[in-house]
Amino acid sequence: MKLDRHGGEARGVWECWTTVAGIAAALPGTPIGTMVAATSFHNPGSIAKMAENIDEISQGNFVLGLGCGWHEDEYRMYGLPYDHRVDRFEEALHIISPLVRTGRADFEGQHYQARDAVNFPRGPRWREGGPPILFGAQQPRMMRLTALYADAWDADWQNDPRIVVEKMQALDEACLAVGRDPLGLIRTGGTQFAMGEHPFDWKPYKGTVDEMAATMHAFAALGLRNYRATPSPCTLETLEQFAKVIEAYDRG
């Protein structure tokens, strides 16, 4: 099996959009979203259309999480362009955002075009501007795009609350720079908690049960609207083990 450049054997996940649609159909009314889908894997018009459709299937419980992509191996495997990722992301937003918000888009860019495009039929939240849009953003330009286009921002997987505080301050500055009230932007985040050896962990927090619970409390104090506390690796066994961390958290 071919190795990827990030270490370990090649791995895979189920395709995002079909999986989300299937889960939304199987669990009607359950909140669900993409965390986060690379815009460069699909045409922007197609992304807007899929988002509208899944919001309908989920009975208005879909969150459209978007990012510019990062894993170069995936692009190389399928011949997708990896250059100018943020440029492509920004152009995609000129199409995705108006199609989701208003149902129409007209844009002529270097990488993407939408010529008098429509997104119809509209989903259950068309009067509210469609499903909420969430970005995973870390760098200044992406923060600015978040301030301009997103309803919510995700801090990504972090093992230290102080990092999230710094990033939220940068996000506040980006909002003020474009004339937006920072309080109007929802913030979310998550932490992977190491419950065993796993070659693909992303900044896992390692510690005792009580230390993990204390870290969860520290993140809760940041005022995040949503926080994903995830055992890593995530298996039935580690989920059972992680129950002890939840119990410790509930005890305070």
| Cis peptide preceding 233, ω within 30 of 0 | yes
* Spatial contact of 199 and 164, defined as CB atoms under 8 Å apart: no
| Count of C-beta atoms within a 10 Å radius of residue 213 | 22
Q: Domain spans of the chain? A: 1-136
* Spatial contact of 40 and 85, defined as CB atoms under 8 Å apart: yes
First to last CA, the chain: 46
Helix then strand count (H, E) for the chain reads 8, 9
* Spatial contact of 10 and 1, defined as CB atoms under 8 Å apart: yes
| Amino acid (one-letter) located at 98 | P
Q: What is the pTM of this model?
A: 0.91
Which neighbouring-strand residues pair with 67?
38
- Residue 29 pLDDT greater than 50, yes or no: yes
- Residue 1 pLDDT greater than 80, yes or no: no
- Residues ≥6 apart with Cβ < 8 Å to 156: 136, 138, 189, 190, 202
- Length in residues, the chain: 252
Structure token digits, residue 21: 């649609």
Mean pLDDT of 72-96: 95
| Lowest mean pLDDT segment, chosen from 49-53, 142-146, 195-199 | 195-199
State the Cα–Cα distance between residues 199 and 207, nearest whole angstrom: 18
* Secondary-structure class of domain 1-136 per CATH: alpha beta
The distance of Cα 147 from the centroid of its chain, to the nearest Å, equals 15
- Residues ≥6 apart with Cβ < 8 Å to 157: 190, 191, 192, 202, 203
Q: What are phi and psi of 13, to 5 degrees?
A: -130, 160
Structure token digits, residue 179: 């004339």
pLDDT tens digits along 100-140: 999 999 999 999 999 999 999 999 999 999 999 999 999 99
Instruction: Kindly indicate the confidence band of residue 3, based on its pLDDT and cuts at 50, 70 and 90.
Output: very low
* Spatial contact of 146 and 137, defined as CB atoms under 8 Å apart: yes
Mean pLDDT of 58-72: 95
| Amino acid (one-letter) located at 238 | T
Q: What is the DSSP string of 74-97?
A: HHHHHT---TTHHHHHHHHHHHHH
